Amino acid sequence: MKGVSVRIATEDDYGGIAGLMEELFPRKAMNAGTGDVYFVAEACGAIVGFAHIVLRGEKAVLQGIGVTEELRRKGIGALLLESAIAYCREIGQSDVCLKVKALNPATRLYAKKGFFVMQFGDVCSMTKKEAT
Ligand SMILES: CC(C)(COP(=O)(O)OP(=O)(O)OC[C@H]1O[C@@H](n2cnc3c(N)ncnc32)[C@H](O)[C@@H]1OP(=O)(O)O)[C@@H](O)C(=O)NCCC(=O)NCCS
């Protein structure tokens, strides 16, 4: 989307990410520690989307992704997800996994980007193998 850039976050972005998380996931607090990597989508100096990867040992987990409601369906979520996957590939993490509620439309975004359902239920486990 024109005017939107996606980049890895720095600590200066944490306030903006926390604000967006509060808007999208009111019951979840931002919890940035060692092994947590955030990507942000920025438009006009404001954070309008984020992707959160957690690196714990061998595993790369996409812990969360969100785009502010008024800018959805413009390709920002896909850009964030592609950046997160490319980053995992660059640092040698072959697989990226995630959990998502089966009814969440985000499953379509994940499937489009090569994630397969590994375990199906109310909450699905999805994995992208070898970050292809
Ligand atoms: C999931 C989310 C991040 C997608 O962001 P987005 O910027 O709207 O996604 P994109 O525009 O890049 O969508 C890319 C593709 O994914 C699929 N997709 C995304 N949202 C969809 C929806 N609501 N319904 C159906 N398909 C959808 C479509 O195939 C879409 O391509 P298209 O628009 O050309 O049809 C956004 O809807 C969101 O923030 N949701 C609330 C938070 C959330 O539930 N996050 C996931 C769990 S952590």
- Residue positions counted in the chain: 132
Per-residue confidence (pLDDT) for residue 75, from 0 to 100: 97
Structural domains for the chain: 4-93 (3.40.630.30)
Per-residue confidence (pLDDT) for residue 94, from 0 to 100: 82
What distance in angstroms lies between residue 101's CA and the mean position of ligand 1's atoms?
14
What distance in angstroms lies between residue 105's CA and the mean position of ligand 1's atoms?
6
CA 54 to the chain's CA centroid = 10
Rg (CA), the chain: 14
DSSP 109: H
**pLDDT > 70: what percent of the chain?**
98
What residue's CA is closest to ligand 1, atom 4? 77
pTM, rounded to two decimals: 0.96
pLDDT in tens, 43-87: 999 999 999 999 988 889 999 999 999 999 999 999 999 999 999
Distance CA 29, CA 115 (A): 26
- As a whole number, mean pLDDT of residues 111-119 equals 95
- As a whole number, mean pLDDT of residues 91-100 equals 93
What residue's CA is closest to ligand 1, atom 24? 105
What residue's CA is closest to ligand 1, atom 9? 77
